[in-house]
Chain A
């Protein structure tokens, strides 16, 4: 066998290995959940859109969407769709679930947070995503006929003119397009970037602690501001979770507690190890953080 032929065989072999590794690294689909409208009238509906996306064109994952707990609303209908598209030269699959809700009364309605479980048919690995709580304001519907009969149209036109004038005079302020809140992972990455060489100051540790507790509070529905690390550990222990997960959260919270309250600053390598563990933990449990 010539040298060139051997090189080709090696190249193909390594490409296959790399591809397999890449597949396992990207084993989790990305996730997004949002409500189409935050304010609706009583005679309108709103929809919760839950999207999953993963590389390659295949029906690799199965998702279980439970019926969420609702306040002042009812589930009207539910649907799903799957599409394949090409993004930056690669194929991606997107699965979308739509849940449409009908308001029952005026006030603040809510879709309570719920977990979506999925199974990877290739690796049989299971995972879960947390769909955060959404609140929707339900308004009394406007009776247009009565409105116009009482001369409301004139008042409305006047208000519209004032509004248009103010917009023009303020230089047509643009509404920011990118209003998506940062993911938990992004927040922890920001903290990681703020680490100065040498030591991690107390302020950084306190920020890390705050974000991590915020994350745990949202993901596991725990107390947040007024609970100590030990109380959070207690709450986690009482939850029906896998033993490994309980242990991991306990270790992370204990390490954060010690870093915060000992008189010395945390060494660079200790902080790096801690935040990498947190990033790994958070990376597997994707939620959108409330500010």
Chain B
């Protein structure tokens, strides 16, 4: 066991060179937004999907496009609009009048990295088609089921403003995203750097640094990262505290939480914590990994009540209280 752990530690340290290469290459285009870039890489390592929320102009789409460029895979951007149909996404059967047969025309979802831009602008039937593909990692067109290629990563963006004519994602579907990221404005220094880079008038050259095979290898290594029983218990305490806060001396939160996090939250928190440990170059998970990533895993899984909204509380403030109360091992 000991040698295996040392081996994993060493492998993780060695593999971290690839992560550094990825970060460096992405950093050529994206200024700041380090958390966003790290989380994109974590999704790649943990085989999860990401929902990115932020006002327009914060490089959400650019970050995802840059990630796709540094990974040697196929990339598709789908602009979600109110008139989009499921067939526009997954594909359809096309009738051939010459032989009277139907042939399958695969949609843009048959790619490795999908950017679902402004996902809340398309109607629920399109959202459902995408979210089903995300969960099952396969698509059925007519009578045939087609598996999606690995890696398959959906990075969806949504805008918190201009809510007229949008179709908010139902809670059950939001739960399928491993992380929900909130992108904020860059600071003054970063914005000055953006200004200088983006007004030069020349395209920044970046190169693919990782292949799909290498991603699979890194994923396998991420799965081997050790997580201690105490850290697992800590994760469970956090998730259970969202369901029954009074058991954790958080009686004041009980009227504020309508629904707590699902078991999928525990799974995702564990996987995300492993990926975080990997990015930090460790072969084992610490409670800090859980804390660092916890908010992004839980914020869309904890539903607050009207009472909480009336008190101007958000799911983030509720989760923060839970993190502040639960004792770390």
A residues near B, CB below 8 A?
A: 202, 206, 225-231, 257-258, 260-264
Contact = CB atoms under 8 A, between A and B. Distances in A.
A230 B325 CA distance: 17
Task: Give the residue among A228, A231, A258 with the most B Cβ atoms within 10 A.
Answer: A228
B328 A227 contact: yes
Contacts of A261: 226, 228, 230-231, 284-286
Contacts of A260: 228, 230, 329
Contact of B288 (A202, A229, A264): A229
Task: Give the residue among B1, B283, B288, B291 with the most A Cβ atoms within 10 A.
Answer: B288
B144 to A, nearest CB: 45
Contacts of A206: 230, 329
Contacts of A225: 327-328
A264 B326 CA distance: 26
B288 A263 contact: no
B288 A262 contact: no
Contacts of A202: 230
Nearest to B290: A228
B292 to A, nearest CB: 8
Contacts of B284: 258, 261-263
Q: How large is the interface on B (under 10, 10 to 19, 20 to 34, 35 or more residues)?
A: 20 to 34
B2 interface: yes
B2 A264 contact: yes
Interface of B: 1-2, 5, 226, 228, 230-231, 283-288, 291, 323-329
A225 B230 CA distance: 14
11 contacts: A202-B230, A226-B327, A228-B328, A229-B286, A231-B288, A260-B228, A261-B228, A261-B230, A262-B283, A263-B226, A264-B5
Given A231-B288, A262-B283, 14 more contacts: A202-B230, A206-B230, A226-B323, A226-B326, A228-B287, A231-B291, A260-B230, A261-B226, A261-B228, A261-B230, A261-B231, A261-B284, A262-B284, A263-B1
B137 to A, nearest CB: 31
Contacts of B323: 226
A262 B230 contact: no
B249 to A, nearest CB: 11
Contacts of A229: 286, 288
A228 B288 CA distance: 6
A228 B291 contact: yes
A206 B231 CA distance: 12
Contacts of A228: 286-288, 291, 328
A229 B329 CA distance: 10
Contacts of A264: 1-2, 5
A263 B5 contact: yes
Task: Give the residue among A206, A229, A263 with the most B Cβ atoms within 10 A.
Answer: A263
Nearest to B234: A228
A227 B226 CA distance: 21
A206 B228 CA distance: 12
A222 to B, nearest CB: 13
Contacts of A231: 288, 291
Nearest to B323: A226
Task: Give the residue among A202, A225, A231, A262 with the most B Cβ atoms within 10 A.
Answer: A262
Contacts of B231: 261
Contacts of B285: 261
Given A260-B228, A260-B230, A263-B228, A230 B5 contact: no
Contacts of A257: 286
A208 to B, nearest CB: 13
A263 B231 CA distance: 12
Task: Give the residue among B230, B284, B326, B328 with the most A Cβ atoms within 10 A.
Answer: B328
Nearest to B287: A228
A187 to B, nearest CB: 19
A226 B328 CA distance: 5
A230 B328 contact: no
Contacts of A263: 1, 5, 226, 228, 284
Nearest to A209: B329
Contacts of B291: 228, 231
A202 B328 CA distance: 15
A226 B324 contact: yes
Contacts of B1: 263-264
Nearest to B229: A202
B119 to A, nearest CB: 34
A258 B231 CA distance: 13
A33 B284 CA distance: 43
A110 B189 CA distance: 45
Nearest to B3: A264
A230 B230 contact: no
Nearest to B228: A261
Contacts of B324: 226
A247 B273 CA distance: 26
A261 B5 CA distance: 12
- Of all A-B residue pairs in the complex, the 8 with the closest CB atoms, nearest first, are A230-B288, A228-B288, A225-B327, A228-B287, A263-B226, A261-B284, A264-B2, A261-B228
